[in-house]
Amino acid sequence: MSHNFRKLSLALGLTLAAALAAAQGYPDRAVRLLVTSNTGASGDFIARLVADRLSKSLGQPVVVENRAGAGGVLAVRMLLGAVPDGHTLMMFISDNVVIAPYLLKIPAFDPLKDLSYVGTIARSVSFILAVNPSVPVHSFAEYVSLAKQAPKKVSFSTYGLGSVPQLSFEMMAAQAGIELLHVPYKGGAESYRAAVAGDVDSVAGTSFTDLLKAGRLRPIAIGASKRSPEFPQVPTFAELGYGDQIFGPVFYGMAAPAGTPREIVNRLTAELKALAQMPDIAQRLRTVGTEPFSTGPEELVNMVRTHSDRYAPLIRKLGLNTQ
């Protein structure tokens, strides 16, 4: 064995020992939990739910810090500047890692290399496409027909430029051979209000069940391949021949900076999985239009890769990466 090889082996051994020691003592102080959502948003609600339970199970305070902005890029940049020791984490919504990086000409970060994924805790129900009741359509076929009669006149609202709803509308429009007018707002609630007020013709959402049941919006199609038990009369886009990817659910997950010790990531993954199995957690998640959805790091990485491969080319095609 060469002298250099012995030195390298010793260095690696010391590094692994230090990492293991850090993991065994983790956490030894308060944990900072960055959140990509504004206060009151579903992502913020879920993050605070997780923080409350983690504080108890980890034995240290988990302090939520809202860092919304730039589609989640602000929070990611803060995370990447933190020491990778598990004391700075981030709760994100899928838009933040599969869309936001590609809205810039030079991606703000590499979602597959710059983050250590912990896992997911929840996913939304599929998006429901709905119209203002004054719009003279009662089915998706009629919606398409109206849009063909008036190109770029039928409008839709979303919670932001380059959001999952916008990209789903664009994919749907391309398949249907129609042109729609996008009107972005600063949040989901604002986009719903615009549709209810008649400022826009249509909207897609996951948390406006009360508006649908009250007749203030009319549902005409739902994403994914399974009908909603609350609106069984509404057909899915899969049934309509558009596949199960358009207007599908978004997911909520946790990440740490790249290089965080695997022992710490595994500990946090186990904690998230335990939370997702708690009945009271499931009940509270349903209040914001989500359901428990538990995955580990490897499965989450595959999900991020699959979604990025779907959205990045579309973003470039639509010219949304202009910043």
pLDDT for position 105? 84
Query: Looking at the structure, do residues 207 and 259 belong to the same domain, yes or no?
Result: no
Percent of the chain's residues with pLDDT above 90: 76
Query: Looking at the structure, do residues 50 and 108 belong to the same domain, yes or no?
Result: yes
Query: Looking at the structure, do residues 85 and 169 belong to the same domain, yes or no?
Result: no
Mean pLDDT across 26-38: 96
Percent of the chain's residues with pLDDT above 70: 92
pLDDT grade for 171, boundaries at 50, 70 and 90: very high
| H or E element, residue 278 | none
pLDDT for position 282? 94
Q: Whole domain around residue 57: which residue ranges?
A: 8-124+249-318
323 within a domain of the structure (yes/no): no
39 within a domain of the structure (yes/no): yes
pLDDT for position 5? 43
Are 80 and 97 spatial neighbours (Cβ–Cβ below 8 Å)?
A: no
4 has pLDDT over 90: no
Where do we find the tokens 């956490």?
Answer: 27
> What dihedral angle (degrees, nearest 10) is formed by the CA atoms of 298, 299, 300, 303?
130
Strand positions, DSSP E, the chain: 31-35, 62-66, 88-93, 115-124, 128-131, 155-158, 181-184, 202-205, 218-222, 251-257, 290-295
pLDDT for position 242? 93
Distance of CA 210 to the CA centre of its chain: 22
Distance CA 180, CA 291 (A): 31
Query: Looking at the structure, do residues 120 and 136 belong to the same domain, yes or no?
Result: no
Among the three residues 206, 222, 238, which one is the final residue of a domain in this structure? 222
pLDDT for position 7? 52
Peptide bond into 229 cis (omega under 30): no
212 has pLDDT over 50: yes
Question: What tokens does 133 get?
Answer: 């009741």
pLDDT grade for 104, boundaries at 50, 70 and 90: confident
221 has pLDDT over 90: yes
Query: Looking at the structure, do residues 260 and 113 belong to the same domain, yes or no?
Result: yes
194 has pLDDT over 80: yes
239 within a domain of the structure (yes/no): no
Query: Looking at the structure, do residues 140 and 214 belong to the same domain, yes or no?
Result: yes
Query: Looking at the structure, do residues 99 and 38 belong to the same domain, yes or no?
Result: yes
Distance CA 152, CA 246 (A): 20
pLDDT for position 17? 45
Mean pLDDT across 10-30: 63
pLDDT grade for 173, boundaries at 50, 70 and 90: very high
3-state secondary structure of 235: coil
Query: Looking at the structure, do residues 132 and 116 belong to the same domain, yes or no?
Result: no
Nearest by Cα to 12 from 24, 20, 1, 2: 20
Query: Looking at the structure, do residues 20 and 93 belong to the same domain, yes or no?
Result: yes
pLDDT grade for 2, boundaries at 50, 70 and 90: low
Are 152 and 234 spatial neighbours (Cβ–Cβ below 8 Å)?
A: no
Mean pLDDT across 206-233: 92
18 has pLDDT over 60: no
For 262-302, write each residue's pLDDT tens digit: 999 999 999 999 999 999 999 999 988 899 999 999 999 99
Strand positions, DSSP E, 139-180: 155-158
Query: Looking at the structure, do residues 183 and 256 belong to the same domain, yes or no?
Result: no
233 within a domain of the structure (yes/no): no
Which CATH number goes with the domain that contains 39?
A: 3.40.190.150
Distance CA 177, CA 320 (A): 20
pLDDT for position 226? 86
94 within a domain of the structure (yes/no): yes
9 has pLDDT over 60: no
pLDDT for position 245? 83
pLDDT grade for 12, boundaries at 50, 70 and 90: very low
| H or E element, residue 48 | helix 42-58
Which CATH number goes with the domain that contains 184?
A: 3.40.190.10
Give the residues across from 15 on adjacent strands.
none
For 110-162, write each residue's pLDDT tens digit: 999 999 999 999 999 899 999 999 999 999 999 999 999 999 999 999 988 88
Distance CA 8, CA 301 (A): 31
Mean pLDDT across 225-233: 90
135 within a domain of the structure (yes/no): yes
235 within a domain of the structure (yes/no): no
**How many domains does the chain divide into?**
2
For 46-98, write each residue's pLDDT tens digit: 999 999 999 999 999 999 999 998 889 999 999 999 999 999 999 999 999 99
234 within a domain of the structure (yes/no): no
Query: Looking at the structure, do residues 135 and 204 belong to the same domain, yes or no?
Result: yes
Q: What is the mean pLDDT of the chain?
A: 91
Query: Looking at the structure, do residues 118 and 254 belong to the same domain, yes or no?
Result: yes
